[in-house]
Copies of this chain bind each other. A is one copy, B any other.
Amino acid sequence: MEIDLNCDAGESYGVYRLGLDEDALPLVSSVNVACGFHASDPVTMRRTVCLAKRHGVSVGAHPSYPDRVGFGRRVLEATPEEVADDVVYQVGALLGFCRAEGVPLCHVKPHGALYNVAASQPALANAIALAVKSIDPRLVLVCLAGSAMVAAAARAGLPHVEEAFADRAYAPDGKLVSRRVAGAVIHEPRLVADRVARMVTERRVAAIDGTLVPIAAQTVCVHGDTPGAVEVIRAIRARLAEVGAAVRGLDPGRPGP
């Protein structure tokens, strides 16, 4: 039994600081590094890759729509071709820093609104999967479990993993409950830890109505941007250790599910 824990990193920008990378990175196995379109800048990218290298964490790219002021959280009516080129640009830029620091680039996980749109629109998901594959066919695409991205990666023959969210409530149909719904985000560390452990040991999660729904996740997304969030990661790791599940990062070339 093993699982990858991924969190976003390198979201600072110029003089602005965001996230607790110093605290969170030693606790996860993979990081999604912002590439300058929704957050980060070249100096921050270098610093983030160095930090990941120091802690032996797998490095992935976190490409976004070009919307820094909106932090990539707003849908932009870009064509699949435009998105593909935006992805190649951003992944390439991070690849530059990975080569400069002698660190392998392991995975790509679309950020924010791009992640959400790619999860439901096959044309966009295909464009992203093919763009990633064109850069390096061993890169692992991180996909919302059960989404259009999984199908697109499979179609492209691209290694991929399905992702679950540690602190988000699930609907009985296995989909994420919207953040606007009360109870959509779970804050209690012990509860979150139990849910992650069950995802790993039973491959199931308790939906918001109490029913158990199947979930096949090879990676679980955690947050590292608040002191409370770091506490949650510690609780998850402790619980995973109790149930005998190993935490392991995403490696390039690793076969997809």
Number of chain A interface residues as a range: 35 or more
CB distance from A152 to the nearest CB of B (A): 17
Chain B residues with CB under 8 A of A18: 15-16
Q: Does A207 contact B (CB under 8 A)?
A: no
Interface residues of A in 54-108 (CB under 8 A from B): 66-71, 74-78, 81-82, 85-86, 88-97, 99-101
A74 partner, pick from B42, B78, B95, beta carbons under 8 A: B78
Interface string of A12-52 (1 = CB under 8 A from B): 01111110000000000000000010000111011000000
Q: Do B82 and A42 touch (CB < 8 A)?
A: yes
Q: Identify the closest chain B residue to A78 (Cβ).
A: B74
Interface string of A111-123 (1 = CB under 8 A from B): 0010000000000
Q: Do B15 and A88 touch (CB < 8 A)?
A: no
Q: Does A194 contact B (CB under 8 A)?
A: no
Q: Does A241 contact B (CB under 8 A)?
A: no
Q: How distant is the Cα of A203 from the Cα of B101 in the complex, in angstroms?
A: 40
On A, residues with C-beta under 8 Å from B are 13-18, 36, 41-43, 45-46, 66-71, 74-78, 81-82, 85-86, 88-97, 99-101, 113, 131, 134-136
